Structure 1
């Protein structure tokens, strides 16, 4: 009996086809003598390995959730986690490059125990060295190959095209800048700061951070669901929060920057870019290894300033706003404060409240993982968090920016914006909030974000929080039956 044509002509997903084509081309480029059958065998081997790693990762998430976990032990204790590896010998090989000696009593922290145990067991018992080698080489070529060969760049672009709907590839010069920023983020950041970011802007942002912190402090004091003890610890945590804005002052020190990469001696002008990148990547890894046995500095920057992002680090109880995000439409020096409060104010408020979300709330004022909540208050907190999770998946209350704006407006005369006199200051504040997230993603790009990003799509990061706010409804006179008027309003702070 003949197979049906439908089954025979089953089409491969375009994304998978692009991925497999790139893999086949990489394998052939690495070893041109391999036959078609040999290439196919290697591909199936790698795909088998990747699919099993994915299954183990999913099982770990189902078993332990996505919350932060910390398992403190010693290198000697790792033998109890998995006896298949000589952990001291393996780790010592890494640290030999920076002349750091490890002992069996060296403290180790794992943030995932089940995954660690299972993946080591899988590799040691079910995977040949040949398979592991092929997988590691594939990941190396996958990441660096597009830098070396035009054909691999083209095939890599096809994957982006199939998975995210990208229409045009990034120019090679721009791609090189990204890679330079990856391994030389401080020197590259120095150039960015000197050209685009002034000291006056840094002062303005610090003032905004203080406005937001004052507003949050007042909210905590007024909160009725928190008991006195938990409030005291919350206020202490807010007061002790580290604020890093714009850039590190070390960035302007030539000696500091030169010392950072003085050991890179094999990068020469005119050599292939990929070789220079690898040299600087090795040095950056050494810089990280050398921090072992050194006292941690809560005020140390973990990235350069040319980054369009903002961060809250629970382990240090610190917020960081690199210079890269402090530009339009998020922030613009000299515009009315209500515009900046809607833009960067929303970003600052979002990061500050991360200190008190379901993850950040597990850490104290110094960044130690320690419970400072009473059981009763913790139960109320988790109950209120459920409302936000059910609404749109994100669990930060976005009201802080509104409270900061209200506090500022009470102390200052609010002037209209030339050309936009038909809008009130309140309306322009909320428009500025929305403008920060304004985008129009292609369907495949949106689906990719939904599949891979913990954050809700931009439309919902704007519409859902604003529909929770009476202030927004009053500003735009939203009818109670309109989409932007939520009947069930989630309130935390």
Structure 2
């Protein structure tokens, strides 16, 4: 898909109107490719942002914590101390709600700050070098001191953060706390919530406005941390978080520094080519515009119809399999069935404009009706997903391409390729995470206690299995990867039985010339090829530590 998308972006603009999405995405892509102009500007775009935020070390009279908090969260979309988002209300998915959660770390997992093993110590040392390098490029004074102070603050945050694979973070019901603004103010008295939210949302919230707080204990401790941390250090930390968000869009020295950190963390020896970097940014900032070009060129209505039939076949098998589950009682079985029946010019400035646009869209949602048909991914994405709070599966056109799917492929390859992915996403509705939501996407316990108890016993068997797998001396975390492992196993089984149904209805497929494999074997080969990847040991270490997916060969 990358080659197809780069070719589309390299073509001349056909629709040149000022509002043309095609013109905007192609001009954005070209501004990103203009490395000479980006290098000519050097650190200046970032220095302007830092200046607008008061500069380093918060000179007297310019270091208002709440003002900078507004700029980080409401202007530059950088999470500091906590995240602040607009999301579906998990208990009433017909409305949006402001959601507050733990966040603000630069490294992807809290344990990396704690130096618990040799690999994490290497990453922490590389991060410290990265900080000093960027601070130097940005002309900061007392670079080593600043880096040390910011790092210590992030380590304090890491100590009060709960790892995502902790049981507490997997039980949505126990995390979910709806509080009023008044109550939130009492929980975190060092922050001025009404002032912050009024400015971000251009509103006048009452003390009774409800928000969802997902990390109550964490926010208590954050408030205490703010109270005992010098304002200068808090100010520099927040500036640093903005720098982290925006530095990848700056000149070559900044990108070189990012690559050196990536090399230590993930083992990447070579930097990505500019074309791939700019395609990634075009996907991120103009995904739907690029998707329209992709679908117009590379996706037919016939492909869509055939895939829809494949989805229906796999849903049919799921319905059958529910009848065969001897551990699920009839009341839970009815609830399970009901669930799946529901239906230009400078590049840096372009980035800031895109961030501002995204924030405006998000802010507007808070008083809008929920659009459950909206996608998280653009059509060209080589991915798929299931959203439990919408009870929605999405398979973009980008994944409905060879080698995963081709209308001219034997059905054994299509069912073993895209079919197992469809089954995977469908099964997510019943895993340890998705199973906490009902057919409408609301956080409701729809299982009977008897069936749920048996489900947990079955799930523990999968946890135990994966706990025994190791890769590069790293033990897989069976509990952390449970949801994906359930979906992998369930998806494979559903797709295989759906393929058997297709064979019964259409007859056996003819053997492929010059191949010794049966179509049953080709089904499993296609499934295995979904997971073909080469990783370096550093990447495996990070994957086992942070990813909800087990290493690919498991």
What's the TM-score once normalised by structure 2's chain length? 0.71
**Partner of residue 119, structure 1:** 222
CA 1:235–1:71: 2 relative to 1, 3 Å: same
**Partner of residue 209, structure 2:** 106
Query: 1:411, 1:115 → 2: CA distance?
Result: 56
Contact 2:417 2:530 (8 Å CA) reproduced: yes
Query: 2:334, 2:152 → 1: CA distance?
Result: 53
> Deviations 1:94-150 (Å, cap 9, x if unpaired)?
012xxx44222222112232223322332x223222222212222222232132121
Which one of 402, 406, 419 corresponds to residue 328 of structure 1?
A: 402
1:307 lines up with 2:401 in the alignment: no
Report the Cα offset of residue 72 of structure 1: 1.5
CA 1:443–1:284: 2 relative to 1, 3 Å: same
Query: 1:457, 1:381 → 2: CA distance?
Result: 24
Contact 2:317 2:498 (8 Å CA) reproduced: yes
Which one of 273, 291, 294 corresponds to residue 192 of structure 1?
A: 294
**Partner of residue 133, structure 2:** 25
1:163 lines up with 2:265 in the alignment: yes
**Partner of residue 253, structure 1:** none
Query: 1:107, 1:51 → 2: CA distance?
Result: 31
> Which deviates the most, 66-75 or 156-165?
66-75
**Partner of residue 466, structure 1:** none
- Secondary structure in 1 matching 2:365: coil
Correspondences of 1:204-283 after superposition (within 5 Å):
204-240=306-342, 242=343, 269=344, 271-283=345-357
- Secondary structure in 1 matching 2:294: helix
Which one of 69, 72, 82 corresponds to residue 178 of structure 2?
A: 72
Contact 2:438 2:446 (8 Å CA) reproduced: yes
**Partner of residue 144, structure 2:** 40
Query: 1:65, 1:22 → 2: CA distance?
Result: 30
What's the TM-score once normalised by structure 1's chain length? 0.80
Report the Cα offset of residue 56 of structure 1: 1.2
Query: 1:352, 1:408 → 2: CA distance?
Result: 19
Query: 1:286, 1:92 → 2: CA distance?
Result: 14
Contact 2:247 2:255 (8 Å CA) reproduced: yes
Contact 2:128 2:151 (8 Å CA) reproduced: no
1:58 lines up with 2:162 in the alignment: yes
Query: 1:50, 1:419 → 2: CA distance?
Result: 60
Contact 2:381 2:396 (8 Å CA) reproduced: yes
- Secondary structure in 1 matching 2:264: helix
> Bigger relative contact order, structure 1 or 2, given CA contacts below 8 A and separation 6+?
2
CA 1:191–1:369: 2 relative to 1, 3 Å: same
Report the Cα offset of residue 366 of structure 1: 0.3
**Partner of residue 482, structure 1:** none
- Secondary structure in 1 matching 2:162: helix
Query: 1:147, 1:226 → 2: CA distance?
Result: 52
Query: 1:420, 1:11 → 2: CA distance?
Result: 47
**Partner of residue 363, structure 1:** 437
Which one of 489, 493, 497 corresponds to residue 403 of structure 1?
A: 497
Query: 1:222, 1:369 → 2: CA distance?
Result: 26
Query: 2:499, 2:292 → 1: CA distance?
Result: 32
**Partner of residue 298, structure 1:** 372
1:390 lines up with 2:484 in the alignment: no
Report the Cα offset of residue 16 of structure 1: 3.7
Q: How many residues align?
A: 415
> Deviations 1:454-492 (Å, cap 9, x if unpaired)?
1101100xxxxxxxxxxxxxxxxxxxxxxxxxxxxxxxx
**Partner of residue 133, structure 1:** 235
> Deviations 1:331-375 (Å, cap 9, x if unpaired)?
223211121110111111111111011111111110111111111
Query: 1:358, 1:130 → 2: CA distance?
Result: 43
1:142 lines up with 2:244 in the alignment: yes
Query: 1:191, 1:101 → 2: CA distance?
Result: 41
1:376 lines up with 2:456 in the alignment: no
> Which deviates the most, 408-417 or 210-219?
408-417
Report the Cα offset of residue 13 of structure 1: 5.4
CA 1:206–1:12: 2 relative to 1, 3 Å: closer
Contact 2:412 2:523 (8 Å CA) reproduced: yes
- Secondary structure in 2 matching 1:72: strand
> Deviations 1:166-186 (Å, cap 9, x if unpaired)?
121112232122222212211
CA 1:421–1:363: 2 relative to 1, 3 Å: same
CA 1:354–1:332: 2 relative to 1, 3 Å: same
Query: 2:502, 2:190 → 1: CA distance?
Result: 61
**Partner of residue 546, structure 2:** 452
> Deviations 1:257-278 (Å, cap 9, x if unpaired)?
xxxxxxxxxxxx3x32011111
**Partner of residue 39, structure 2:** none
Contact 1:312 1:352 (8 Å CA) reproduced: yes
Report the Cα offset of residue 60 of structure 1: 8.6
Report the Cα offset of residue 14 of structure 1: 4.9
